[in-house]
Amino acid sequence: MAENNQNSLVTKIATYGSFIAIASFVILFISIFFKVFI
């Protein structure tokens, strides 16, 4: 059970990490758009 819990924790960390990376890319593109249009 301990190994399964640890594996699920690693999967959660990987999922949150990829989600944060996508969100940061979206914020970066939005900031570039604001700099270009304003």
In three-state secondary structure terms, 17 is: helix
**Where do the structural domains in the chain lie, given as residue ranges?**
9-37
pLDDT at 20: 97
Mean pLDDT of the chain: 88
pTM above 0.75? no
DSSP state letter for 14: H
d(CA 35, CA 9): 39
pLDDT-based confidence at residue 31 (cuts at 50, 70, 90): very high
Mean pLDDT for 25-34 is 96
pLDDT at 4: 67
In three-state secondary structure terms, 36 is: helix
By residue count, the chain amounts to 38
